[in-house]
Amino acid sequence: MTLFLNSPHPQFHERHPILNPEKTRVPRALIVAVQLDNISDVEFESSLAELGDLAKTLGLEVVGQFTQKRSSFDSTAYMGVGKREEIRQFLESEQSDSDTLERGDPQKTKNHVEFILVDHEISPSQALNLENEVGCEVMDRTVVILEIFHRNARSHAARVQVEIARLSYMAPRLREAAKRAGPLGRQRSGTGGRGTGQSRSQVDSQKVRDRIAELQKEIDVMEASRDTQRSQRQGQPLVALVGYTNAGKSTLMRALTGTDALVANKLFATLDTKVRTLHPESVPRVLVSDTVGFIKNLPHGLVASFKSTLDEALSASLLLHVIDAGDPGLEMQIEVTDKVLAEIGADSVPRIRVFNKIDYLNDAVAQTERIAELQAKYPGCLVLSARRKDDITKLHQAIVHVYQQQLVESEIFLPWSAQGLRGEIFASCEVLEERADAAGAFFRFRATPDVVARLSELSDK
C-alpha cells in the first residue's frame, strides 16, 4: 500500500469509488454487526439505523444486513466463522446474479456489493481477515465517519484536523497491510528511505508520524490565533449550540442570528464553528456559536482533533443542548452529548435542553402531549420547532433572560469631555435614567459586572 502524503489517502479514494465523484453509479453495501450481551435490542437497532444513515450520507445503497448475538467480538474476524461463511455465500450469489445480468444486457454495469460496513471500530487484522474471507472491502464505523468528516471539512482548520484523524487511523492499518504483503512489504527501502535496515512499513510509519507532527504545528498556530480571538471576546456572553448531529443546531443558529449557517439534512454538515451575534441584539450583547455534531462512538481521534472546535463549548457561558424531539433514540443522543461534554470538561457549563423539530408531530394533541411528557422528564427544557418564528422568539427571550439575570444596577457620571462613552453605554447597557446638568450627564443603568468595571475604568481616564 502506498501512502501519498500530500493528499493523505488518494489510494483510499481509488479503492472507494463512492468517494470518486466521477463515478455516478451508486455503490452497494452490506451492514454487518455483532450485538453484544449488554446491548438492548432497541439500542442495537438504533445504532444499525444510524449506520444506515451514515452510509446514505456517504452515497451508498445499503442492500442488506447480517447481525449476530455474541458475548464478545471474534478476535480473528469480528463475526463468528458460520456468519462469515453466510456472508461470503450471499456475496457470491449477488455477484453471480449481477454477472448474469451483465451478460444479458451489455448496457448494465456490474452492480454487486462493494462494501461491508461494520457497526464497530475493529482492529486492522480483524478488518483484513474479514475482507479476505468474504472477498469484499470492509469499512468500519470509524472509517465511515472519518470519510464523512473528510468530505464536509471546508475550512483549512477543519481539513487539517480531519487529516490528522485519518492519518492516525490509517497508520496501524498500513503497518498491518505491509506486514501481510510479505517480502515486498518488508523489502529494504531504496532511494528516499531513511537509511538501510528499515522496512517499507517503518518508513511509511515514520512519514505518517512526520506528517502528523507537521499538521499538529499548523493546528497550534491556528489555536494561538483562536485564543487571541477568544480573549478579545472575553467577558462577552457566549452561547454554544451543541448536540447530536442533524438535531438542527445550524438551523437554530441561522434563526437566532439571522445568518447563513450551513444547514443540510445529512450527518456532520457542520465541522467549523462560527461566532455570530444574537439578533435582534440584546443587552447584554450575546454571541452565538455553532459546533460540530456528536455521534455515538465518535472516533476518539476525532474528539481529540475537534477539541479546539469543541472548546468553543467550553468557553461558553451557556450551552443550548439541541435534541431532535422526533428521534426515538433521543435518550441515547442526550447521553452521548452529555458524555462528550463531560469528556471535554464542559459539563459544569449551565445548559438549556432544547427539543427541536416538534413540528414533525403534525397533530396538535400529540404535540401537546409530547411537550408535557418532555417537560416532566427534563425540567426547564424548551420544546420547539426551528421553523416557527414564535418559537425562535421564545428561545431568544430565554437566552436573553439568562444573561439579564446577571445584570447589576450601577451609575456613572460623564463630564461633557467624556461624552464619547455615551454610545458605548447605550450599546452595552440597559439605560434606566439619563439626566444632564451643566457639568455633564448622569446615567443609571443595568449591565454585566464586566461592562460596569470597564465603563468605570474608562470614565476615570
Ligand X SMILES: Nc1nc2c(ncn2[C@@H]2O[C@H](COP(=O)(O)OP(=O)(O)OP(=O)(O)O)[C@@H](O)[C@H]2O)c(=O)[nH]1
C-alpha cell at 31: 451492514
Q: Which does 246 bind (CB under 5 to 8 A by kind): ligand X, Mg ion, none?
A: ligand X
Task: Kindly state whether residue 386 participates in binding ligand X, applying the rule CB under 6 A.
Answer: yes
102 binds, among Mg ion, ligand X, none (CB under 5 to 8 A by kind): none
Q: How far is the CB of 346 from ligand X (least distance, A)?
A: 17
Cα–Cα distance between 364 and 187 in angstroms, integer?
Answer: 70
Nearest to ligand X of 110, 388 (CB atom): 388
152 near Mg ion (CB under 5 A): no
The answer to whether residue 247 forms part of the interface with ligand X (CB under 6 A) is yes
d(CA 252, CA 241): 8
Whose CB is nearest to ligand X? 293
Q: Retrieve residue 283's grid coordinates.
A: 443587552
Indicate the residue among 203 and 358 with the shorter CB distance to ligand X: 358
357 binds, among Mg ion, ligand X, none (CB under 5 to 8 A by kind): ligand X
Given a contact cutoff of 8 angstroms between Cβ atoms, the answer to whether 414 and 444 are in contact is no
- Binding to ligand X in span 401-430, by CB under 6 A: none
DSSP class of 458? H
Q: Which of 457, 456, 437, 460 is nearest to 445 (CA)?
A: 456
According to the binding rule CB under 6 A, does residue 246 interact with ligand X? yes
Instruction: Tell which one of 159, 249, 274, 353 touches ligand X (CB under 6 A).
Output: 249
**Binds Mg ion (CB under 5 A): choice among 126, 205, 250, 308:** 250
Find the binder of ligand X among 5, 36, 213, 264 (CB under 6 A): 264
Between CA 371 and CA 352 the distance in angstroms is 15
Pairing of strands 351-356, 318-324: parallel
- Does residue 269 belong to the site contacting Mg ion (CB under 5 A)? yes
Residue 196 buriedness (CB in 10 A; 0-12 / 13-18 / 19+): exposed
Given 142, 201, 270, 273, the residue binding Mg ion (CB under 5 A):
270
Candidates 234-242, 261-269, 281-289, 332-340: pick the segment binding Mg ion (CB under 5 A): 261-269
Number of chain residues interacting with Mg ion (CB under 5 A):
4
Of 268, 355, 403, 445, the one binding ligand X (CB under 6 A) is 268
> Shortest CA distance to 9 belongs to which of 141, 146, 170, 121?
170
| Total residue length of the chain | 461
Q: Is 175 an interacting residue with respect to ligand X (CB under 6 A)? A: no
SS (H, E, C) 396-436: HHHHHHHHHCCCEEEEEEEEHHHCCHHHHHHHHCEEEEEEE
Q: Least CB distance from residue 341 to ligand X, whole Å? A: 15
Q: 340 and 302 in contact (C-beta within 8 Å)?
A: no
Interface with ligand X in residues 118-147 (CB under 6 A)? none
Write each residue from 339 to 358 as x if it is in contact with ligand X (CB under 6 A), else as -, in one continuous string. Answer: -----------------xx-
Phi, psi dihedrals of residue 216, rounded to the nearest 5°: -60, -35
CA distances (Å), origin 402, targets 229, 364, 405: 24, 29, 6
Shortest Cβ 152–ligand X spacing (Å): 8
If binding means CB under 6 A, how many residues of this protein chain bind ligand X?
22
Phi-psi region of 192 (alpha: psi -120 to 50; beta: other; left: phi over 0): left
Q: Contact between 251 and ligand X (CB under 6 A)?
A: yes
Interface with Mg ion (CB under 5 A): 249-250, 269-270
Interface with ligand X (CB under 6 A): 245-251, 263-265, 267-270, 293, 356-357, 359-360, 385-387
